[in-house]
Amino acid sequence: MVLRRQLNPQSIFDEEELRAAFEKNDIKPLHIATVWNYVLSGIAKRSCNDQMPTRPNFADIKDLPVVAHNVLQLDFSAFTSEVIREQMSVDGSTTKLLIQLQDGKQVETVIMHHDASAGRYAGQPRGGGPRTTLCVSSQVGCQMACSFCATGTMGLQGNLTAGEIVEQLVHALRFTPNIRNVVFMGMGEPLNNYDAVLQSVRSMCSGKCFRLSPNHITISTVGIIPRMKTLASDLPGVNLALSLHAPSQELRAAIVPAARAYRLDKLVAALDAYQAASGRTVFVEYVMLAGVNDSEPIAHQLGSLLKGRQVFVNLIPHNSVSAATSAHSASSPADVRRFQEVLRESYGLHATVRQEMGGDIAGACGQLVVSNFVTDEANRPTPTASSRDQGSRCDTAVSDIEDLLMVSALKM
């Protein structure tokens, strides 16, 4: 069991800690919004290259009791983390941030820019204009050790606090002010850091400051069954993405070690229970691995498993960035297309292919790993043929979570 990391000073964006400190000193909780907005207004006046002060002069915050100034100065910091490196993909669509935490540990977060002003999805015009999705980390490393994921090679080094998760959003706002979707698909298994993830989502969705909609937040899990059973009531309106990757217990256990503890039959039962409680579509994530889980018979197995359920299958091109994950290779576009056709035509399932973003800076799905943060442009990974071409060769390619939500709404 990973020991809880203790921060000193605490992050002001850890709402539970700040609220407790205020209540202990008879300070009204409504002042939390005052503090947050003061810090965020300072961010709006700075460029992404400016160094952010970790301990601003809280005494400058108007309408804040003097005792609150003292509490903030003694026990809290505006930032317990800092961006120490940024990388942008060649096409400008993706920015990856390397963030150093107070204890020296590091995580990555990814900003994905998307223009929804042109093209069509599901035969319908696409609405809206430019928007941004932020992919946040919930842990330092990950203990799930999925065979195709680079983050798992780090092992689990610690859980992030709620404040450290929210700070990823705050840091990202320095680079773009238009973030409206947040996905918990970065480093770590979110449901293994359950309390901090709950707190961070509630802070992001509160009316105090960030005002994100629960419908625009997606939490991905490899299938932590006890937490799946409580998620619908703890975070109503939030989207769930299930990392399935195989339709049988034997195959899933071979590539997703956590499946040995959370067996497929019980996982499907938890999925049904979640949907009964939430009434929401679940996104099923399925990484396509050549010669492993991409054959036509396996597509039929998956179709049989999911048929009749309120799910949306998102087929994901495999991205290799480390020696540990290079044992797998990406499925060919033709195999992905046939897999998708089986799911759609034989079982009536809604299935898309994720059009990967950020592959050249190791910022795509499964590529986040601190030890492989690219330090030289010449050493950037070259996107594979499948990640470059998949979107143009497969029907309904999706590169943005909001497009996936829109397709889901149109299809249902």
Closest CA to 198 of 244, 240, 235, 148: 235
Structure tokens at 309: 């359920």
Tell which wins on pLDDT, 412 or 309: 309
Q: What pLDDT, in 10s, does the model give residues 139-171?
A: 999 888 777 887 777 889 999 999 999 999 999
Q: Is 365 a catalytic residue?
A: yes
- What is the pLDDT confidence band of residue 407, given thresholds at 50, 70 and 90? very low
For the stretch 104-153, pLDDT in tens is 999 999 999 877 665 555 556 555 667 899 999 999 998 887 778 877 77
Distances in Å between the alpha carbon of 73 and those of 6, 31, 252?
Answer: 18, 15, 50
Looking at residue 193, its pLDDT comes to 97
**Residue 344: CB atoms within 10 Å:** 17
Is 149 annotated in the active site? no
Q: What is the predicted pLDDT for the residue at 259? A: 92
- Calculate the average pLDDT of the chain: 83
Catalytic residue among 15, 17, 108, 189: 108
Can you spell out the DSSP letters for 239-259? EEEEE---SSHHHHHHH-GGG
Q: Answer with the residue of higher pLDDT: 250 or 92.
A: 250
CATH number assigned to the domain with residue range 80-370+397-409, chosen from the 4 options 3.90.1720.10, 3.40.640.10, 2.20.25.10, 3.20.20.70: 3.20.20.70
Kindly give the pairing relationship between strand 106-115 and strand 130-135: antiparallel
pLDDT at 99: 96
Least confident window among 179-183, 247-251, 378-382: 378-382
Q: Which residues pair with 168 in a beta bridge?
A: none
142, 149, 205, 365: the catalytic one is 365
Instruction: Say which DSSP state 381 is in.
Output: P
The residue ranking higher by pLDDT, 75 or 147, is 75
Q: Is residue 58 a contact partner of residue 51, using CB atoms and an 8 Å limit? A: no
What is the distance between the alpha carbons of residues 357 and 362, in angstroms, rounded to a whole number? 9
Dist. CA 352–CA 394, nearest whole Å: 8
Q: Is the pLDDT of residue 38 over 80?
A: yes
pLDDT band at 90 (very low <50, low <70, confident <90, very high): confident
Q: Which is more confident, 267 or 42? A: 267
**Mean pLDDT on 251-275:** 96
Q: What angle do CA 152, 155, 157 make, to 5 degrees?
A: 130
- Which structure tokens are listed for 125? 């015009």
Q: What confidence tens digit (pLDDT) does each residue in 40-51 have?
A: 988 866 556 666
Global pTM value: 0.85
Of 4-13, 73-82, 138-147, the one with minimum mean pLDDT is 138-147
Question: C-alpha 336: how far from its chain's center?
Answer: 24
Separation of first and last alpha carbons in the chain = 41
How far are the Cα atoms of 29, 31, 40, 55, 252 from residue 208, in angstroms, in the given order? Answer: 11, 10, 12, 21, 42
Is pLDDT above 60 for 363? no
pLDDT at 51: 62
d(CA 263, CA 192): 17
DSSP symbols for 157-225: EEEPPHHHHHHHHHHHHTT-S-EEEEEE-SSS-GGGGHHHHHHHHHHHHSTTTT---GGGEEEEES--H
Give percent above pLDDT 70 in the chain.
77
Per-range mean pLDDT, top range of 35-39, 206-210, 383-387 = 35-39
